[in-house]
Chain A
Amino acid sequence: MMAVSPNDMVAAILSAAQLTVSEREFDTMVRDYPVMRAAADSLYLPELEFVEPAVTFDSRTAFLPV
């Protein structure tokens, strides 16, 4: 599988998000993206396989009196 360059990845993400940035901003994002990606990847630790995410939804909340 062909790896996607940071340049192409950032362009695709910005397009999907409908964000229009300057050339300088784009270059900064391309430089930052590998750092951000590595940080996110560092969280996929094997020992977290059975850990529940800290997001909860209580169906009763909407029915509570204000």
Chain B
Amino acid sequence: MTSDIPLTIKEAAEALRSGVTTSVAITETVLARVERLNDELGAYVTVTKDQALEQAAAADADLAAGKDTGPLQGIPLAIKDIIAMRGAGTTANSRILDGGWCPDHEAPVAARLRAAGSVFVGKSTTSEFALGLPDPDKGFLVPHNPWNVAHTPAGSSSGTGIAVAAGLALGGLGTDTGGSVRGPAAANGHTGLKVTFGRVPKSGVVPLGYSLDSIGPMARSAYDCALMLEVMAGYDPSDPNAADVPVPEYSAQLDGDVDGLKIALPMPYFFDHEMLDPQVREAVLAAVGRLGEMGAAVAETSLPYAAEAKEANHIILVAEAFAYHRNNLVSRWSDYGAFTRPSLARGAFYSSADVMQANRLRTAFSSEVAALLGEHDVIVTPAAVTPAERADTMDASKRLSQPSYTGHWNLTGLPAVAIPVGLSAEGLPMSMQIIGKPFAEATVLKVADALQRVTDWHLLVPPIAQPAAV
């Protein structure tokens, strides 16, 4: 047995309704794990224990009274600490917000989860302002990968990534501007969905890149992410970028059938780069092969401007972020983390013409992607170039020269899900990314779910979090 509580939201929802367990029991188990492991793993900035137990008790009472608010009722979730949540200040893992940002305000996405009866375990660790690397000198817990604590859990949604992998929540919220949901999902061995730009309202969230930001669900399975997205998605007038597009019942469309589905594999840059770990390449292609055996049609192809799109995403991201942080960087430079401040300052190094040109490249690349998806249903790439790196080798400067496979889909605003496809020889998760057309979250989740019906990588629990270990 690898878990003493249900591993997935789906299983937990069934267990709650069949009377096998209660939300209070699940939540108490989760909180006990948090108490034992959080100092070592650094998943949470703030644990809202009292609130969580109150929510759990309310969920149990409602279910007993026949008031069923849906599958997220009574489910413990982590909320990334750049998302405003009532009852807990928001720190963005920064001394800049050391007073706690908006403690009495709640982002629409959090309010929706609360109304659905979810249980909020706490505010999960983020890279400072969703950018940069941890600074151990700033007073916040440094996050560690539960598969190997010497390795990074990736960021910026590090805490939710850790929490889901180690059972310190059954799901949670992350945000994604260049890969910050998918990177931690990849590094920690579970599922993370970056949604179409505007699918989920991003008001009440500390911004990083205005035209790139998204809030996405992170959970063990694609099915769980679908359950979360059904609650999270939908228009809200408080977000000028929120899309007024109907929200389908995503989970109902996950039927395991990929027969005839057309998958594009853009080989140049995404599969043939010299820095791509051969184990990752092999694992992703093997997973695609499984989909092929299930009836999907796989085609090797190419995607122009892939390398340039990575640069364009970075330029736009830092330009937008620098505009937001500029005044504080000028007056409070040393209050920012040692790795965050130079990352933000990069926005000053590009000219306004550079930013405009990046947006022209954005148009051109989007056209190429649209043409590719005109002939295929999804694009598949690795989610990360390597398994999680050793934390002591991480270097923000290195990233300038490394390939990256995630920012392209923020640049184009498309839905993209990362799912695990195996463990490396070193025992670290490897991950695949599935990208779809605008608002086609159902399609990307369907492909992910189909693979997860015939594999169990998404159900693996790191040894540190297994019941015998705790």
Interface residues of A (CB under 8 A from B): 10, 13-14, 16-21, 25, 28-29, 31-33, 35-37, 39-40, 42-45, 47-48, 51-55, 61, 65-66
Contact = CB atoms under 8 A, between A and B. Distances in A.
The 9 A-B pairs of least Cβ separation, nearest first, read A53-B359, A17-B348, A54-B362, A39-B311, A40-B354, A54-B359, A53-B360, A51-B360, A35-B400
A65 B273 CA distance: 49
Interface residues of B, number: 36
Interface of B: 211, 237-238, 240, 307-308, 311-312, 314-315, 326, 329-330, 333, 341-342, 345-346, 348-351, 354, 356-364, 366, 397, 400-401
Nearest to B240: A61
Contact of B357 (A19, A29, A40, A65): A40
16 contacts: A17-B330, A17-B345, A19-B345, A20-B333, A21-B333, A25-B342, A29-B349, A35-B397, A35-B401, A37-B349, A39-B400, A40-B315, A42-B307, A43-B315, A54-B211, A65-B237
Given A19-B329, A65-B237, 17 more contacts: A16-B348, A17-B326, A19-B330, A19-B333, A21-B333, A25-B341, A25-B342, A36-B400, A40-B358, A42-B311, A43-B312, A43-B357, A48-B361, A51-B361, A51-B363, A53-B356, A54-B362
Q: Is the interface of A mostly helix, strand, loop or mixed?
A: helix
Contacts of A53: 356-357, 359-360, 362-363
Contacts of B358: 40, 43
A51 B397 contact: no
A66 B199 CA distance: 18
B356 A55 contact: yes
Given A32-B397, A35-B401, A43-B312, A13 B348 contact: yes
Which of A18, A31, A32, A43: most chain B CB closer than 10 A? A43
A42 B311 CA distance: 9
A32 B400 contact: yes
B362 A13 contact: no
A31 B397 contact: yes
Contacts of A18: 330
Contacts of A66: 237-238
A52 B240 contact: no
B276 to A, nearest CB: 19
A26 to B, nearest CB: 10
A2 B80 CA distance: 49
Contacts of B238: 66
B242 to A, nearest CB: 12
Nearest to B310: A39
